[in-house]
A = this chain, B = another copy of it.
Amino acid sequence: MVKKVLKFGGTSVGTTERIQHVANIIKKEQSSGNKVIAVVSAMAGKTNELIELSTKISDNFDKRELDVLLSSGEQVTCALLSAALIRLNVKAKSWLNWQIPILTDGEHSNARIINMNIEKINNFLDDRGVAIIPGFQGISKNGDITTIGRGGSDATAVAVAKMFNADTCEIYTDVDGVYSTDPNKIPVAKKIDKISYDEMLELSSLGAKVMQSSAVQTAMMYDIPLEVRSTFSDRKGTKIFSHENIDYTKSVTGVAYSKDDAKITIIGVEDRPGVAANIFEPLSKSQINVDMVIQNISSDQKTTDITFTVKRADVLKTKQILNKNNKINYKNIIQKENVAKISIVGAGMVSTPGVTYRMFRALSDENINILAISTSEIKLSVIIDEENTLKAIKKLHTIFDLD
C-alpha cells in the first residue's frame, strides 16, 4: 500500500467546482488502494483578500494576529474539501494546525515546521480515511498560531511527507510540470519528465516559479520523491528526485532566465583583503539581494573592478549605500539597467566537456555580447542586454537539443 501526500495549491481549490474536482482526484487515488493525506492552500485570492483587510486596519499589523487572520484561509479549504469527499462517500476529516498539532519554531510569518503528531492521523489512514491538512501554518510552543511564509504550503506538504514517511509527495498546480524553458515565451519548450532536486533548485531560483525552493531543499535533504503535475489534466507531470535515479542523455536540462536585473560595476577599488566584505556587508544589512559577483584585475594592477547584479528596483538604494560607504575607495560607479540573466542548467553538464564553449559560441553567433559570466557545478549564467533575452533562449534551447 502506497502512502501519498497530495498538495493542492490556491488555483487548484479556487472555486467550489474545482474543490469538487480535487475531491474526485483524491477519491480515485484512494480507490486505487493508496493512503492519502491532502495538504491544501487557501482558495486563490483569499490570502490577498485577508492581507488587504489587514492593511486597512494598520500598516504595521501585529504579527501574531496576522497569523491568526491568514491561517483562516486554509481552514476554509480544509472544511470544504473534506465535506466534498464525504459527499462522494469517501471517509474524510480535516485536521487543523492545533488538532494535529503541527509544531513550529521561529518567528511569526516566518516559522518552520519542526514536528507533528502522526499517531492519530496514521490510525485514521489505516481505517481508510483521507486526512485533509491546512498548508502554510502550525502552532508555536506557546500555543500561538504561526505561519511559515507565503507559498509555504509546499513546505508543509514536504514536511508532512517526511514525518509520515510517505512514499511520494505530489504537488498539484496549474501547470503540468517543469519545462525546459518558459513555454509562454518559447513554444517549443518541452515538459521535463524527470529532474534532479538540484537542477530544480537552480531552475526555481532562476524564475521558474513552479515550487517553493525551500520545499525542494527539504525534499532533497530527506530524499522524498516529488512530482509536480496539473490539477486540470491527466497528463503525467515532472518527477523530481536525486541524480542516481536519472539517466542523463542530455548535458543541459533547461534554459532559465530572470528579468528585472541590473548590473553595477565599481571601478578602481583598492585591491586588498577585506574590500569585498566592506562593499557587500552594508548592502546585505539593507536587505539588498546581490546575485552574481565578478571581480577583474584592473589595468593598473593595484586596483580592481567589481561587478555585481541586483534587482532593478534596488539600483538607487544600492548606489546611495555605496556613496555613503567610507570604508571603500574607488574611482567610479557604472550602472547598466535593462540586463537579463540567462542560465543553462543541467546535472549532465559535469560529465559533458565543451558545454561552456558551446554556449559562448552560440551567443556570439547571434551577435549577443556577454556582460558577465558566472558558473556553478550544474549551472552556467551569463548577463546580456535584456533586448536579446528571447533570441538567446531560443538559440540555447535549440543547440542543447531541447526543442
Residue on B nearest A17 in the bound complex, by CB: B56
User: Which listed residue (B61, B72, B96) contacts A76, Cβ 8 A?
Assistant: B72
Rounded to whole angstroms, the CA-CA distance of A82 and B68 in the bound complex is: 10
- Contact call B56/A83, Cβ cutoff below 8 A: no
Identical chains bound together, number = 2
Q: Is there a chain B Cβ closer than 8 Å to A295's Cβ?
A: no
Rounded to whole angstroms, the CA-CA distance of A62 and B85 in the bound complex is: 10
Range of interface residues on A (Cβ < 8 Å): 35 or more
User: Which listed residue (B64, B83, B98) contacts A98, Cβ 8 A?
Assistant: B98
- Contact call B65/A86, Cβ cutoff below 8 A: yes
Rounded to whole angstroms, the CA-CA distance of A62 and B61 in the bound complex is: 35
User: Which listed residue (B56, B80, B93) contacts A64, Cβ 8 A?
Assistant: B93
Question: Across the interface, which residues of B come within 8 angstroms of A64, CB to CB?
Answer: 93
- Contact call A83/B61, Cβ cutoff below 8 A: yes
Question: Across the interface, which residues of B come within 8 angstroms of A66, CB to CB?
Answer: 79, 83
Q: Is there a chain B Cβ closer than 8 Å to A60's Cβ?
A: yes
Residue on B nearest A84 in the bound complex, by CB: B57
- Contact call A79/B69, Cβ cutoff below 8 A: yes
- Contact call B72/A54, Cβ cutoff below 8 A: no
Question: Across the interface, which residues of B come within 8 angstroms of A75, CB to CB?
Answer: 68-69, 71-72, 75
B-contact bits for A44-83, CB 8 A (1 contact / 0 none):
0000001001101110111011101101100110111011
| Given the contacts A19-B57, A72-B72, A99-B143, A65 and B79 also touching, CB distance less than 8 Å | yes
Which residues of A are at the interface with B, using a C-beta cutoff of 8 A? 16-17, 19-20, 50, 53-54, 56-58, 60-62, 64-66, 68-69, 71-72, 75-76, 78-80, 82-84, 86-87, 93-94, 96, 98-99, 143, 145
